[in-house]
Structure 1
Amino acid sequence: MDRRSLLLCGLAAALSACGEPAPRKTGGVGTARQGDRVTSSASVPVGSGVLVDMPGNAQLLVVQPRSGEFRAFNPACPHVGSLVNPPAGGVITCPLHGSAFDPATGAVRKGPATSGLSEVAVALSGEDVVLA
C-alpha cells in the first residue's frame, strides 16, 4: 500500500470510529416535567451556579445567589441563542458577544442582549432542586 492510500485509510478509520458529532445542546428543560429532579442542592455553589444537562439534549443554568436560594434560567442568550457560562465574578456572561446578566435575577446588565435570561421555576425538595 502506498503512503497516500495508507493515510486515506487511516483517516477513514478515524472518522468512522468517531461516529456522528453529538447534537448541540439547547437551553431549557427539554422533556423534563414538573417535579422532576434537576440537580442536588449541594452541587450548586453559593454565589455561583452550574449548567445542568436535562433530558432531551437540553441544559438549565441553576444558581444559588444566597445560601438556600435556588433559581434556574434557560441559558440561551436572548441575543442569538448561544449558551451562557455559569456565573463568575458575580456575573453570567455570554461567550459569543459578551452580553452580561445578573446571576440572582437573570436581568441583562450589558448588551448586545436587550432582555434578560428566561427564568425556569424550581423548588427545593429535600436535598434536590426540582422543576416547580
Structure 2
Amino acid sequence: MNTAFPTRRTVLAAAGTTSAALALAACGSSGGGDAGGEKSPGSGDQPTGEGTSEPGGGGAELVSASEVPEGGGTILKEEKVVVTQPSAGEYKAFSAVCTHQGCVVSSVADGSINCACHGSRFAVADGSVQQGPATQPLPAVKVSVRGGSVRRS
C-alpha cells in the first residue's frame, strides 16, 4: 500500500505562493482598490464638477459653509465627501475615498487632503495628487453654496 503524502518542500512552496498572493491583494496597483465592499472611485457613481457659490442647486446640505476653514476642508465620513475652501468664498468638494486603495481620507491640513493609509496627499483646490502612491486625483463632487450651506448640486 503506497500512500502519497506531500513533501516538506511541496508544503513550503505552496505556503510561499499563498503568502505572496495575499500580500499582492492587500496592496495592489492604484485606482483599483475595493475596500470594505465600497465602490472604487471613478467608477461612474460619483457626480463630477466644480463647486460654485452661485444661487441654484437645491441638493442635500452637506455642511454649513462656516464649518469649512479657509485654505482647508472638512471631511464628511458618512457621506464620503470632503468639502474644501481653497480661498475665501470658494468651495469645492471631492470624493473622500482615496484613489489608491479605497481608504477614506483622514485629515485636511496645509493645503492638502491626506490619506493616512499609505500617505497619499491631494490638493484642496482641485483634488490633484500632490504625493503618491495614488496616481489618480480625487473625483470632484458638484456642490453649490446657498443660504450659508454647501449643498450637493
1:103 lines up with 2:121 in the alignment: no
Amino acid at match of 1:60: V
CA RMSD in angstroms, aligned pairs only: 2.5
Give, in angstroms, the shift of residue 123 of structure 1: 0.3
Distance (Å, rounded) in 2 between the aligned partners of 1:128 and 1:90: 22
Q: Give aligned-pair identity as a percent.
A: 36
Higher alpha-carbon Rg: 2
* TM-score, normalization by structure 1: 0.69
Query: 2:138 is matched with which residue: 112, 117, 124?
Result: 117
1:51 lines up with 2:75 in the alignment: yes
Q: What number of residue pairs does the alignment pair up? A: 103
**Within-5 A mapping of 1:35-114:** 35-53=59-77, 57-114=78-135
Q: Runs of 5+ in structure 1 lacking a partner?
A: 1-23
Q: Runs of 5+ in structure 2 lacking a partner?
A: 1-35, 47-57
Give, in angstroms, the shift of residue 92 of structure 1: 1.4
* TM-score, normalization by structure 2: 0.60
Could you give the per-residue CA deviations for residues 21-75 of structure 1, whole angstroms, max 9, x where no partner exists? xxx7x69999xxx61111110111111111125xxx4321011010100011111
Amino acid at match of 2:63: T
Moved over 2 A (4+): 26-30
Distance (Å, rounded) in 2 between the aligned partners of 1:72 and 1:98: 20
Give, in angstroms, the shift of residue 130 of structure 1: 0.7
Question: Structure with the greater relative contact order (CA < 8 A, sep ≥ 6): 1 or 2?
Answer: 2
**Within-5 A mapping of 1:120-131:** 120-131=141-152
